[in-house]
């Protein structure tokens, strides 16, 4: 999930991008397929933030990074399904172990997120909604797809009704706009940060325990 941000930040510095992606991924993952997926996602974000509009050129750049057999299969399917404009769910089911469920396996996340972006290019809302309808690990996949699509759409292309209800104090829309414009931001310090994190933890745990009971 860090990959799109790194990819966009170092969009014009491929060597830096690769170094930071490998280092960042190693913090939480050891599987080389996770590194491969992160590099592909970062490259996609870099393309999204550039002037490249040809999807074929983007796919060619992404395929140069592919090493694993898992990703080769997913990208072969991606090209086939993209050509026939199949839904994100249908594409995901073409390699998923469980119908209607996109796993958190790095190659799955990267492939489905990139497919959703390319299928719905220029439509941020449709990209996110398509990923959510595909099921499974929707928060991770939607974040990656949304980050790539959002990088291309810009703030004017985001869903204004979603932005209006964004609640993650102090990360308001105004706060983040200020950071993007000035490059600086004052995050709340102790004890406000502790209070914020306790509230956030309570929300996360509530959602987690809720999922243990029907309706699932």
Instruction: Classify residue 143 by burial, with Cβ atoms within 10 Å: 0-12, 13-18, 19+.
Output: middle
Instruction: Residue 149: name the closest of 182, 116, 173, 176 by CA.
Output: 116
Alpha helices in 64-137 (DSSP H): 69-83, 88-93, 106-119, 124-134
Question: Is the pLDDT reported for residue 183 higher than 90?
Answer: no
Count of domains forming the chain:
2
User: pLDDT exceeding 70 applies to what percent of the chain?
Assistant: 100
Domain span holding position 34: 3-158
149 and 203 share a domain?
no
196 and 143 share a domain?
no
Q: Which two tokens stand for residue 125?
A: 């809302």
Count of CA atoms in the C-beta half-sphere (13 A) of 204? 8
User: pLDDT exceeding 90 applies to what percent of the chain?
Assistant: 75
Question: Is the pLDDT reported for residue 216 higher than 70?
Answer: no
* C-alpha torsion sign, points 198, 200, 206, 212: negative
Predicted local confidence at residue 97, as pLDDT: 85
112 and 39 share a domain?
yes
Q: Which two tokens stand for residue 14?
A: 């491929």
95 and 134 share a domain?
yes
Predicted local confidence at residue 122, as pLDDT: 92
68 and 145 share a domain?
yes
In a domain, 22, yes or no: yes
Predicted local confidence at residue 213, as pLDDT: 87
What pLDDT digit, counting tens, does each position of 23-74 carry?
A: 999 999 999 999 999 999 999 999 999 989 999 999 999 999 999 999 999 9
In a domain, 167, yes or no: no
What pLDDT digit, counting tens, does each position of 115-173 carry?
A: 999 999 999 999 999 999 999 999 999 999 999 999 999 989 999 999 988 877 777 88
Mean pLDDT of 11-22: 96
184 and 104 share a domain?
no
What residues pair up with 101 in beta bridges, in sequence order?
A: 98
Q: Which two tokens stand for residue 129?
A: 């909604």
153 and 177 share a domain?
no
88 and 139 share a domain?
yes
Instruction: Residue 109: name the closest of 12, 37, 6 by CA.
Output: 37
Q: In whole angstroms, give the CA distance from residue 72 to residue 66.
A: 7
- Taking each helix axis as running N to C, give the angle between helix 32-48 and helix 138-153, from 0 to 180 degrees, rounded to the nearest 10: 30
Predicted local confidence at residue 215, as pLDDT: 77
Question: Is the pLDDT reported for residue 193 higher than 90?
Answer: no
């Amino acid at each position: 999930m860090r990959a799109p941000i790194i990819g966009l930040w170092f969009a014009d510095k491929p060597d830096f991008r690769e170094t930071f992606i490998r280092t960042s991924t190693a913090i939480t993952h050891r599987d080389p397929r996770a590194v491969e997926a992160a590099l592909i996602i970062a490259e996609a974000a870099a393309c999204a933030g550039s002037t490249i509009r040809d999807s074929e050129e983007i796919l060619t750049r992404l395929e140069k990074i592919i090493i694993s057999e898992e990703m080769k299969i997913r990208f072969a399917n991606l090209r086939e399904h993209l050509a026939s404009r199949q839904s994100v769910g249908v594409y995901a089911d073409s390699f998923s172990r469980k119908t209607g469920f996109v796993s958190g396996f790095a190659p799955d996340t990267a492939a489905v997120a990139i497919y959703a972006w390319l299928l719905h290019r220029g439509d941020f809302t449709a990209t996110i909604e398509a990923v959510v309808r595909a099921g499974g690990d929707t928060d991770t996949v939607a974040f990656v797809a949304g980050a790539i699509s959002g990088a291309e759409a810009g703030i004017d292309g985001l869903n204004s009704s979603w932005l209006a209800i964004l609640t993650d104090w102090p990360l308001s829309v105004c706060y983040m706009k200020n950071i993007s414009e000035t490059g600086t931001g004052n995050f709340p310090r102790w004890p406000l940060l502790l209070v914020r994190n306790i509230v956030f933890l309570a929300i996360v745990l509530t959602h987690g325990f809720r999922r243990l009971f029907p309706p699932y």
